[in-house]
Each structure stands twice: as structure tokens, then as C-alpha cells.
Structure 1
Amino acid sequence: MEKTYLPPQNTSERQWYVVDAANQRLGRLASEIAIVLRGKNKPHYTPHLDTGDFVIVVNAEKVTVTGKKRTQKVYRRNSGRPGGMKTENFAQLQARLPERIIEHAVRGMLPKNSLGRSLFTKLKVYTGPDHPHQAQKPQELKVNTIPGED
């Protein structure tokens, strides 16, 4: 009888990565972050297990979008009360809470179950270039960009 291979679940071997979001496209950045959070960049990736790493995003206020999304992309939230729907566009949310833009994009690329919720806790997003995770010695994560951009 063959047994199913399970990768080692040693959480002490998880890496910490830091990503600079300055002048990065939102969707491309979010997809790279989601891949690292899930562990799809590793040879022992298993879909139903958390094999991913931690990701720190800095300069969240400098992320960009293309086209007219700056004024036309709408973010909605609801208080749960009648008439409690609040909407704001990308530019308004970026001025108010720039971390939420990246968190929302990455959350949409993770599984919609308890595994996805636990993966999302490994994402840390900060405005500005500073973060409180220097003790973890994060490595620089290079995000693929299209040649000729920026």
C-alpha cells in the first residue's frame, strides 16, 4: 500500500520576505505575494496544507494601477445595518487606508476557506519604508516586472 507524501510541517523554517510596493502594479504585485503566501514557489507545495512564507509589504501608499482604475475602481464595505453600504474609489481609499488596497487584492487571490484565512495572517502591510520585523531578517523578494515599464 502506497502512502501519500506529506511535506514537513516545521514552521520554524518559514522564510520572511520584504517587498517594496513603490511603483508596482497592484495586480501583478498581489499575485506574486499570493504565490509566496501559499508556498507555490516551493517544490514541496501541497494544496491543502500551509507551506508558505511570511510577506512584508512596505510603501503601500505608492502602489499604482493602470487605465482609469484610479477613479473608476470601487471598494465596498457594509456595516450590516440597513443602508450601511459605503463605497469609495481607489484614490480615496489610497489616501485614507493604503494598506487595505493591497490586503484586499491579495485576499481575493487566496482560497476562500479556513486555509485562506490562516494564510492571510502571514501578510503584513505597512505604509512607508519602515516595518517592525527586522528581527526576522527578511529577504528581498523580487517581483517580476514587464520590461520597458517604469
Structure 2
Amino acid sequence: MNKTFIPDSDYIKRKWYIIDCKDQQLGRLASSLISLLSGKFKSYYYPSIDTGDYVILINVESLIFNQEIERFHVFQPGRPGRSLKKMGNPTPQRIIENCIKCMMPNGLARKRLTKRLKVYEGANHPHQAQNPIKLDFNKL
């Protein structure tokens, strides 16, 4: 009789991946990061068990996205004169964190998976002790 393999907590070993965001597009990078954070690329993936890995993003200031768009927010609809406010330009770190958070599934998984994403604006990061594996999405 065939039995479904379900990984337990002893089976799961989380890896650390490092990704250089230099000249990468935001949407393509974010969609590939979701599968890394949730563990969907692993052979022993099971939806109700968290098998995802840690991801370190470096050089996020050189991501390619359109920052020239003026962003507006309606605070009080129907109130003339004070409802439409111009939003300031957020930092690239904040933009990519928000993009990945909004692409994740709802529920507790969203909170857990976003804590595994580490975003740094420069090339330096404090996670050398974890021996991160360098991934290059340009070759995929």
C-alpha cells in the first residue's frame, strides 16, 4: 500500500540563500523568492508543514522598478480638500518587503515567512556564520 511521506521537524533542515539584486526586476525576483521562502521547490514539500528556507537579499538599492510614479492615498473619501494626500517615496528595502508580503498566502504563513527574509542595501550582511549559498537568478 502506498503511503504519503510527511516530513517531521527532525527532517527539516533550513538552508540560507544569498541573492544579489543588482539589475534584477522586482516582480520576477519576488515571485521566485516566494517559492524559496515557502519551500515549494523541495521534493518533500507538504502544504501544512513549514519547509521553507532563509533568504538574504543584498544590493537592493540597484533593483529595477519605476520610482517616478507619484503615489497618492485617499484618507477620508467624500471629504473635499483633505482626502487626497501625496505619499513620500519609500526606501527600496521597504518596497521589496511589502511586495513579497503581499504575494504570500494569507494566515500564519505570511507572518512566519516574512521573518525569514533579510534585506540589506549594501553588499555587506551579518550572516556569514550561516554559510549562505549564492543563487544567481540571471542564469535561470
Give the alignment's TM-score, normalised by structure 1: 0.75
Counterpart of 1:34 in structure 2 is: 34
Query: Structure 2: any 5+ residue segments left out of the alignment?
Result: 76-82
Residues 126-149 of structure 1: CA deviation (Å, up to 9, x unaligned)? 010000000000001221568xxx
Give secondary structure in 1 for the equivalent of 2:87: strand
Query: CA separation of 1:64/1:6 partners in 2, compared to 1, >3 Å: closer, same or farther?
Result: same
Confirm or deny that 1:58 pairs with 2:58: yes
Q: Return 5+ residue gaps in structure 1 as ranges.
A: none
AA aligned to 1:21 is: C
Tell whether the 8 Å contact from 1:110 to 1:116 is kept in structure 2 after alignment.
Answer: yes
**Is the alpha carbon distance of 1:144 and 1:32 closer, same or farther for their aligned partners in structure 2, counting shifts above 3 Å?**
farther
SS for the counterpart of 1:34 is helix
Alignment size in residue pairs: 133
* Structure-2 change in CA distance of 1:134 and 1:12 (3 Å): farther
Task: Tell me the CA shift for residue 87 of structure 1.
Answer: 2.2
RMSD across aligned C-alpha pairs, in angstroms?
2.8
* 1:21–1:63 contact (8 Å) kept in structure 2: yes
Q: Distance in 2 between the 1:72 and 1:108 partners?
A: 19
TM-aligned CA deviation for residue 2 of structure 1 = 7.8
Deviates more, 1:110-119 or 1:121-130: 110-119
Q: What is the aligned partner in structure 1 of residue 107 from structure 2?
A: 113
Shift, 1:3, TM fit: 6.3
Higher helix share: 1
Cα distance between partner residues in 2 of 1:47 and 1:73? 39
After superposition, residues 88-107 of structure 1 pair within 5 angstroms as 88=88, 92-93=89-90, 97-107=91-101
Per the alignment, residue 136 of structure 2 pairs with 142
Q: Which residue of 2 aligns with 1:7?
A: 7
TM-score, normalised with respect to structure 2: 0.80
| Separation of aligned partners in 2, 1:122 and 1:106 | 11
Change in Cα spacing, 1:47 to 1:131, as seen in structure 2 (3 Å) is same
Report percent identity of matched pairs: 40
- 2:47 alignment counterpart: 47
Shift of 1:114: 0.7
